[in-house]
Amino acid sequence: MIIKTNKLEEFINSLLEQMGVNNLDSQIISDIYIRSTLRNVGHHDIYDLPRRLEMLDKGVINKNPKINLNKSYGSIENYDGDNGLGEVCTSFILERAQKLADSNGIGFCSVYNSNHFLATAPYLEKSAEAGYFTLIWTSARPAIGWPGTRKKIIGNNPMGYSTPTNSDPMFLDISMAHDSVGNLKDKMEKEKQLSPLTAVDKEGNYTENPLEALEGGSLPIGGHKGVGLSILGELLTTVMGNGIMIDQKSKYESSKPDINFYDQMVIIIKPDVFMSEKEYLDRVDILTNFIRDKKSSLRIPGEKSNETKKRLKKEGIQLEMKLINTLNEWAVKYKMPFSL
């Protein structure tokens, strides 16, 4: 079924409010879900909402967290997310880091006792629209494998950055593994094989089977380079930011809810300090024009998402009936005045 963006956003917002989420947070969350869903990648978007609703409903995640400052020093701040949704915690530190950057040119904020935040993309997009250069990392459950090793050695620790441009934001949203956990699940459902030498099974042997890769692990991009970049993410989030350490996370089975397993951090830089805003944006244009080459398959980061977004905003978003039914069941349960 095709749903218009506005209607979907209003639905999410109202449903969250009916569940007891305060109005400010419900607006923030619905905006994040719409931004994610308009990328049309099929996971870490509206399809993740039912799981969040369940956790809010059961009280496993805090509906109205009091996000508290743990420690701060000049232009860096660390917060206790009070077991709030990752979407709320990350939006909070994004705004704080922007304020710090307004005052000091750069701001670095991190949050622990947070939860899964969908993806870096929606925050990156929002922050670029507000004129900031943004870097985001999140920690994750251990997911990356290594040839000859039986355990998952580290999370694929997604990261991303964005910059304003003279047109749509440029943003990159990637994990440090060849395939994210979401990608592996997608490929499993669609019965696709993985590329050779990009994953190992639970014994540490190479596999092209997505199910075996979920038990073993996707391999890091560039071998030791990707491992090193994942470690960077782990240091900037969990280690430095008071999160639950990786040895504790790895003790749980994947069937258990991974509450508080995700710590996020944001670095914001004001890009127009060293030159005028116009000059900065023109320089970004020079770079993208240089890279763009019509004869190759290369795209500028975010380009495809930006095109999809424009199309879906016009056409509406195609959602599976199973998802719509689930969301409408929640609407009935919480006495919503309307459904999808």
Taking CB under 8 A as the criterion, which residues in 121-160 touch a copy of itself?
A: 133, 146-151, 153-154
Q: Where are the beta strands (DSSP E) in the chain?
A: 2-3, 68-73, 76-80, 106-114, 133-138, 142-144, 154-155, 159-163, 170-174, 199-200, 217-218, 262-269, 317-318
Q: How far is the CB of 131 from a copy of itself (least distance, A)?
A: 13
Positions 205 through 244 that interact with a copy of itself (CB under 8 A)? 221-222, 224-229, 231-232, 234-235, 239-242
The Cα 328–Cα 245 span in angstroms is 38
113-146 b/e with 16+ CB inside 10 Å = b?
A: bbbbbbbbbbbbbbbbeeebbbbbbbbbbbbbbb
Positions 93 through 112 that interact with a copy of itself (CB under 8 A)? 103-108, 110
Contact at 8 Å (CB) between 204 and 219? no
Q: How far is the CB of 25 from a copy of itself (least distance, A)?
A: 25
Pick one of 2, 256, 297, 337: the residue that binds a copy of itself (CB under 8 A).
297
Pick one of 205, 274, 315, 338: the residue that binds a copy of itself (CB under 8 A).
274
The Cα 115–Cα 112 span in angstroms is 8
Pick one of 290, 314, 332, 337: the residue that binds a copy of itself (CB under 8 A).
290
Q: How far is the CB of 308 from a copy of itself (least distance, A)?
A: 16
The Cα 52–Cα 84 span in angstroms is 11
Residue 25 or 80: the one with the smaller Cβ distance to a copy of itself is 80
How many C-beta neighbours within 10 Å does residue 193 have?
Answer: 10
Give the list of residues 6+ apart from residue 243 with CB closer than 8 angstroms, or none: 112, 139, 237, 260, 262, 263
Pick one of 42, 182, 204, 316: the residue that binds a copy of itself (CB under 8 A).
204
Positions 299 through 318 that interact with a copy of itself (CB under 8 A)? 299-301
Positions 71 through 90 that interact with a copy of itself (CB under 8 A)? 71-76, 78
Positions 22 through 81 that interact with a copy of itself (CB under 8 A)? 70-76, 78
Pick one of 1, 60, 211, 275: the residue that binds a copy of itself (CB under 8 A).
275
Note whether 247 binds a copy of itself by CB under 8 A: yes
Pick one of 59, 253, 256, 293: the residue that binds a copy of itself (CB under 8 A).
293
The Cα 333–Cα 53 span in angstroms is 11
Q: Applying CB under 8 A, what is the total number of residues that bind a copy of itself?
A: 74
Q: How far is the CB of 278 from a copy of itself (least distance, A)?
A: 13
Angle at 265 between CA 67 and CA 129, to 5 degrees: 95
The Cα 257–Cα 46 span in angstroms is 19
Residue 110 or 127: the one with the smaller Cβ distance to a copy of itself is 110
